Structure 1
């Protein structure tokens, strides 16, 4: 079982508009509601690949009720602690005329001590059946930045693959626990290093920095420009032709593709190809949840080019 930690999930509402104008009343021609948050996005894609997944975290309020209903529709197993607060919204606005996509993420509500205690009980219980643990996404307000580091420290079994996708100080603290896989995107990596990643030498420096924390597979997603991976043999860049699709959630599908590839092929090169193909296909859809989308990923996988940087 793949255990996925998403402590700040969201209910994503996507509005499709022909034209969007600031400071004016706008009308959409289509709306979609999907369960979101980085961990849940990873779970949906892995489930579509045929993997057994379980999401743990928090939910609350009317948005939390809808979130659980939407997870049930997608056959995603979950164990979410009910909180006094409410599950946050995330709003996406797709504007056809200018081909723009705007996201407004809610912050979520504070988690109290009793709710945290309930969560860690669930977390520890589920570790017994987990082969992979993915800790992914933002944290609720007033949550200590060491929270993901604490979770990684709780995973005592060395056979469990520990995967992290976080940002800023949460990422910085969690790196000290040497997860097996990390996947910041380019912007997150630039913030961590206080340095722009502009060229090949910058990419090499960034991957080597992550490798210095004894991370087996450091990944950096570069959005439309592909992705980087570091392994013992060297540092590589994987690319596909860029497209103008929606980039929201592509990094999550990227990570799911990598995990699926690594688990089933034990080959980081196959994994990075599946990762890039998964991220690319996600640009065409609000979510990856069916077999036809997975077929597209496998067709596209063979078009991914992997080049050694050093």
Structure 2
């Protein structure tokens, strides 16, 4: 089973407008509500790919209740820990049609105390060998910044496979626990190694360095320039991005992670899993929301030709 953890889920209020007038009154062209948070995004795309998962994390207040109800209505199993104080945050996403610019307003979210963290850790103690645990995104200020490391240390030698989509110290501190997969983008890898990445050769070099530091498999995604996978079978796989117009960056990385995991479980092939990940990530990038199955199937066929 795949388990996803979202420390700070969100109700995403997505507003599309022709142009944003600073300090003035703005009229939207359309609005929609999405149920967000990186782990929830992963679970949503896994469901689209007919791969079951359990969504874990923290919710609070009336917005948290609405989010849990929505996740369950999508057919996703969940076992969120309810916080007594605060509300699950509402994030505002502004998309400007004329400039193609995206603006995000993300609140901090409810405080997660030590007791709630302990409840999550006890939940994770029940995972079995062969299960996959997805740790995705940043953590709220109320959560210790070494929480990923704490989780990995607790699950060390349990046989649970860790897949992490994180940046900075959240990522580097867990490498010594030999995670199954890490998926930083080229900007995040550049920050880790103090360099800029402009091509696949540079991405490959960094991916191999992360493997030496402990990760079994490393994907470095480069948006429209494709991705590089340094795999535990000692091969390096490169892939380009399919043709399409990018209209949305929210959730593309989460979709790639979900696609890779679903593809690997389905085919037991790292190369094919990278195709699945690229198709899923691109399907989200080319859509107003998360990837849908027809777009994924079309792009996977295009990539595989």
Provide the TM-score with structure 1 as the length reference.
0.91
Name 2:279's counterpart in structure 1: 277
Q: How does 1:247-262 map to 2 (within 5 A)?
A: 247-262=249-264
Structure 1: any 5+ residue segments left out of the alignment?
A: none
Q: In structure 1, what is the Cα distance between the partners aligned to 2:147 and 2:87?
A: 20
Greater displacement, 278-287 / 152-161: 152-161
Q: In structure 1, what is the Cα distance between the partners aligned to 2:186 and 2:179?
A: 19
Cα separation, partners in 2 of 1:239 and 1:85, compared to 1, 3 Å: same
User: Do the aligned residues in 1 keep the contact of 2:35 with 2:70 (CA within 8 Å)?
Assistant: yes
Name 2:17's counterpart in structure 1: 17
1:38: how far off? 0.6
Q: In structure 2, what is the Cα distance between the partners aligned to 1:274 and 1:174?
A: 26
Alignment coverage as a number of residue pairs: 301
Mapped pair 1:103 → 2:124: no
Q: In structure 1, what is the Cα distance between the partners aligned to 2:289 and 2:199?
A: 31
Mapped pair 1:287 → 2:286: no
Mapped pair 1:303 → 2:302: yes
1:192: how far off? 1.3
1:244: how far off? 2.6
Cα separation, partners in 2 of 1:37 and 1:180, compared to 1, 3 Å: same
Mapped pair 1:88 → 2:79: no
Greater displacement, 37-46 / 274-283: 274-283
Instruction: Encode CA deviations 1:57-84: one digit per residue, 9 max, x unaligned.
Output: 1111222122112212212211111112
1:295: how far off? 3.1
Q: In structure 1, what is the Cα distance between the partners aligned to 2:300 and 2:75?
A: 26
Name 2:36's counterpart in structure 1: 36
Question: Counterpart of 1:72 in 2: which secondary structure?
Answer: helix
Q: In structure 2, what is the Cα distance between the partners aligned to 1:70 and 1:129?
A: 30
Highest RCO, 1 vs 2 (Cα 8 Å, sep ≥ 6): 1
Q: In structure 1, what is the Cα distance between the partners aligned to 2:200 and 2:186?
A: 13
Q: How does 1:70-219 map to 2 (within 5 A)?
A: 70-83=70-83, 84-125=85-126, 127-128=127-128, 131-156=131-156, 159-219=159-219
Q: In structure 2, what is the Cα distance between the partners aligned to 1:129 and 1:106?
A: 36
Cα separation, partners in 2 of 1:201 and 1:109, compared to 1, 3 Å: same
1:144: how far off? 1.9
Q: In structure 2, what is the Cα distance between the partners aligned to 1:260 and 1:204?
A: 23
User: Do the aligned residues in 2 keep the contact of 1:59 with 1:87 (CA within 8 Å)?
Assistant: yes
Structure 2: any 5+ residue segments left out of the alignment?
A: none
Query: Root-mean-square deviation (CA), in Å?
Result: 1.9
